[in-house]
Structure 1
């Protein structure tokens, strides 16, 4: 019954998208253009270099070395082996979905056990400073200082998520195992190839969900009005929330024009912490290919979004 319902729903959504593209060509074209601009202007410049470095680190066994250094801290804070710290740091530096990519690669290489890898997904796949500071802070709210404030809330939210979801005395954690040494030239070449292939997938998801947001423009406007009437929120606020639930970049950019106050910044923190369904789809595509379940990732990102919003809401009066 479940499989039949899933099949019917998939067919319905596919047909709806097909007719939407036919009936609303201007909206779909505009959405695609927005997605492509986001990819070329933000995602590729900020993510691709870190993706190459991340893959290079993995091939050269850097997580094994980091595991020895950070193992005591990682086990105490998060209940995981030290090897996972590489994914955490790279995710915070490079942005979505680099953390998920690193975890999937480490699991494939045998550096992480399955249960530990899936739990790491809950707090290691995060946004990076290039997006938060440049886009959310500078472009949307007109302040680099606001961007760093949001980035700080994002980091603290990720740490708290990992601490809240830790398991004491967990036998699923693994010791960081060394991998066979690979020459730098070979590792660098493979890193470029894998990163380029993954980048195409990531941008594909971003463009598709940007088109989806464009096609749902009328529905989102109507639903935003209902939410605003129900909860007394500003229409612009409700619209950004709904857009951000679907797609991170479009949702964050849609906040342009909102005043810089605690509530609006908390919304921005939630959108960034949650990541949007687009990021969830990117992460799911990566981890399922490696044999992992995205369930922990979905729950962790929801918790991360809520915690980041609360941190922003209560910390704002202390800094501004």
Structure 2
């Protein structure tokens, strides 16, 4: 299978050079215009905070919630916080850095990585809220649902560890070396540069794939939604072309935000590999995140449509979408739980 996929990609690149070139331009434009301006400061902050002991200091504040709800040590607090606010894939970068510093064990880093990779508030409000739906409030509500869904998904995927026993000061013993600020800053800049290059490369490659798959996706009903499963930003930009109601569009956008797109999944894998951070159950966890987000969004839209007001023009849709969305989300939810259980013994 691996050989077949490699040959298929080689043939596509060889036979469609113009589409590949356009894909590279799309990816580089996306990286320079949207992704890196939002992510690089958080990549730098992540590396700097981990290297200067922030994980230990901040962990004292969240020691008990992390231990009781997720059975995680206090050092995981920085990965959770930065993952919820920094954008994809800052959470994975932080978890990998904590593992490399010795602040988290391998199994603990793997569990926190299952739910600490989220879209940033700026991405949800700016690109999704204002850019897609013409409403900053819609983006803010979607971010709140997105963050809550991540924490709820973590309760179902990240509680496999043994209960944490905290010492009186609220900290577990950590053997991470401390660095001076100058050394930590230089190392954090180098780490941020390497991570940014990884993100840019994956955006370019997946933009190529979208260009190559465009003729295939075009005739497929709701093919634009499949584009979002492959690469999140491109898929979100194409949402309003789908023949769905306002509630259906917002619910689908919420699912895509939770799932993150395959481009993000591969970025996380690339960041995890150098530290040998296990990835078992990651895709199932992201499916679960997306399903919970979609169900919560559909519920909020039904109870209070004004909370998710949409001002951008949307196409009319069939009446059966709400029931179909609920059925699809339930199926994804069950599949994600089943997949997560299968992955437990592999971490």
Q: Which TM-score tier does this pair reach, normalised by the shorter chain?
A: 0.7 to 0.9
* Structure 1 partner of 2:249: 264
Partner of 1:249: 233
Return the alpha-carbon distance in structure 1 between the equivalents of residues 124 and 181 of structure 2: 32
CA distance in 1, matches of 2:177, 2:289: 35
How far residue 246 of structure 1 moved from its aligned partner, in angstroms, is 0.9
- The CA deviation string for residues 204-239 of structure 1, in whole angstroms up to 9 with x for no partner, is 0011011001101112224x23xxxxxxxxxxxx22
Runs of 4+ aligned structure 1 residues displaced above 4 Å come to 171-174, 257-260
Matches within 5 A, 1:177-188: 177=174, 179-188=176-185
> Which stretch of structure 1 is more off in the superposition, 295-304 or 46-55?
295-304
Runs of 5+ unmatched residues, structure 2: 166-170, 309-347
TM-score by length of 2: 0.81
Aligned residues: 299
**How much does 1:22 deviate?**
2.7
Is residue 2:66 matched to residue 1:74?
A: yes
Could you tell me how far apart the structure 1 residues matched to 2:148 and 2:38 are? 21
Equivalent residue for 1:113? Answer: 105
Q: Indicate which of 15, 25, 30 corresponds to 1:23.
A: 15
Which one of 180, 188, 192 corresponds to residue 191 of structure 1?
188
The corresponding residue for 1:209 is 206
Q: How does 1:110-189 map to 2 (within 5 A)?
A: 110-167=102-159, 170=162, 175=172, 177=174, 179-189=176-186
Shift in Å, 1:50: 0.6
Structure 2 match to 1:97: 89
Q: Please state how far the C-alpha of 1:112 moved relative to its aligned partner.
A: 0.9
- Which of 289, 293, 301 is the matching residue for 2:278? 293
User: What is the alpha-carbon distance in structure 2 between the residues aligned to residue 260 and residue 94 of structure 1?
Assistant: 31
Partner of 1:311: 296
Aligned to 2:73, the other structure's residue is in SS state coil
Kept after mapping to 1: 8 A contact 2:69/2:159: no
Return the alpha-carbon distance in structure 1 between the equivalents of residues 282 and 173 of structure 2: 22
After superposition, the CA RMSD in angstroms is: 1.9
Q: In structure 2, what is the Cα distance between the partners aligned to 1:175 and 1:198? A: 29
Task: Give secondary structure in 2 for the equivalent of 1:294.
Answer: coil
Unaligned residue ranges in structure 1 (runs of 5+):
1-8, 226-237
CA gap 1:218/1:172 in 2 versus in 1, 3 angstroms: farther
